[in-house]
């Protein structure tokens, strides 16, 4: 067993993997992953919203063989997890997008590829046999959107996830101070941080500078050197609306997911358009600082959808029990972002697998201790209603 394998085996929580990632990465890269918008109020509240929920365990229930499987977009999934779309993952580990997708396939869960990934739509589909979703950032150029959607369809992606909470890029002050930009422009400070983290720097040198390969030639301003949030934000269609979702529903022949929903009224209208899932998210606290925590918005969204579409949720998931709480609040599955990216940063694909093992183990243990033998049978009755 290598030293990395031993270190990963000693990690018993996502927080342990986060600490490993923090040690391995230069500060500016770790803060790009770890940070949120402005004062990071929503970032903190996402976690607090899960933590303040309490369960009321049932007893004298046969929990000898807990079943954590779930139906996600109408298909069986070994676990109620989806690896959420994340851009620029290769800053954490060379080839991180591929590592995340392979780990997801190994655990029998879907993986969503970001428009702003650093691996091609077709390349990933050829390399990974698992359940692949493609996440679309709606660009101002409709021809560019059509090309991306057509590529995902031709490559056999199971679902299209259209992100609707990004009419502009959030103000991520850590990135502004640290100078995290695409394309990377290395300052003296960056070089010093790289030199003090030689394993990370060597991996970057071998892998080459990250590039948004799926939108090559579509964004313009190729040498802008903008922060990643600003680079994405200035190219998005801020006029994208409900009618556009309806047209996308007509165009896309497979499962359609709308991601970034917090308002119950929006959720109800989106569900009426015939989408397959509404994804409750505030972008992990990286967009509007002061937005409601995803777990707090979830019950209202689920009530508004009224079973017309599945409900997913992300933002703040760090423990297996969070999935149990999310199910009780109305979600069919949870999206994993930083929780698995910390694993990737700590140890590549092996680190992602370790993160998923930890979360799966925590979930099945929580199910036993809560007296809930089947994940899909969990409902609001296990929540302590006195705590909101």
Catalytic amino acids? 283
CB contact set of 246 (below 8 Å; sequence gap of 6+): 273
Of 283, 318, 286, nearest to 297 by C-alpha is 283
* Count of C-beta atoms within a 10 Å radius of residue 19: 14
The rounded distance, in Å, linking the Cα atoms of 344 and 35 is 17
Distances (CA, A) of 284 to 83, 116, 154, 241, 371: 13, 16, 30, 22, 30
Contact between 49 and 296 under an 8 Å Cβ cutoff? The reply is yes
Contact between 313 and 343 under an 8 Å Cβ cutoff? The reply is no
| Distance spanning both ends of the chain, measured CA to CA | 46
Contact between 274 and 235 under an 8 Å Cβ cutoff? The reply is no
Of 300, 330, 291, nearest to 313 by C-alpha is 330
The one-character DSSP state at 80 is S
Q: Can you name the residues that pair with 182 across neighbouring β-strands?
A: 226
The one-character DSSP state at 84 is P
Contact between 224 and 230 under an 8 Å Cβ cutoff? The reply is no
Contact between 63 and 373 under an 8 Å Cβ cutoff? The reply is yes
């Amino acid at each position: 067993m290598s030293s990395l394998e031993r270190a990963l085996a000693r990690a018993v929580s996502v927080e342990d993997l986060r600490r490993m990632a923090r040690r391995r990465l230069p500060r500016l890269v770790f803060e790009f992953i770890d940070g949120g918008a402005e004062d990071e109020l929503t970032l903190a509240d996402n976690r607090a919203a899960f933590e303040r929920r309490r369960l009321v365990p049932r007893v004298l229930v046969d929990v000898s063989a807990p079943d954590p499987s779930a139906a996600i977009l109408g298909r069986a999934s070994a676990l109620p997890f989806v690896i959420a779309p994340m851009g620029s993952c290769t800053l954490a580990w060379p080839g991180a997008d591929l590592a995340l997708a392979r780990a997801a396939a190994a655990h029998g869960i879907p993986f969503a590829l970001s428009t702003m990934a650093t691996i091609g739509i077709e390349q990933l589909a050829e390399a990974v046999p698992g359940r692949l979703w493609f996440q679309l950032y709606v660009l101002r150029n409709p021809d560019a959107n059509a090309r991306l959607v057509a590529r995902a369809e031709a490559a056999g992606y199971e679902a299209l996830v259209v992100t609707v909470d990004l009419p502009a890029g959030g103000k991520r002050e850590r990135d502004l101070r640290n100078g995290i930009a695409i394309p990377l422009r290395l300052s003296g400070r960056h070089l010093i941080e790289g030199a003090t983290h030689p394993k990370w720097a060597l991996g970057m040198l071998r892998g080459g500078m990250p590039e948004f390969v799926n939108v090559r030639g579509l964004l313009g301003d190729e040498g802008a050197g903008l922060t990643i949030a600003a680079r994405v934000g200035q190219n998005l269609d801020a006029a994208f609306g409900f009618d556009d979702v309806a047209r996308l529903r007509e165009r896309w022949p497979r499962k359609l997911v709308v991601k970034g929903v917090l308002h119950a009224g929006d959720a109800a209208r989106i569900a009426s358009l015939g989408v397959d899932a509404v994804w409750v998210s505030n972008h992990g606290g990286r967009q509007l600082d002061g937005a409601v925590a995803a777990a707090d918005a979830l019950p209202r969204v689920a009530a508004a959808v009224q079973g017309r579409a599945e409900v997913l949720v992300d933002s703040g998931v760090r423990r297996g029990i969070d999935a149990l709480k999310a199910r009780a609040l109305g979600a069919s599955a949870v999206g994993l972002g930083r929780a698995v990216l910390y694993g990737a940063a700590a140890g590549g694909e092996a680190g992602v697998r370790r993160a998923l093992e930890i979360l799966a183990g925590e979930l099945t243990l929580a199910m036993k201790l809560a007296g809930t033998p089947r994940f899909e049978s969990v409902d609001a009755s296990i929540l302590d209603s006195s705590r909101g």
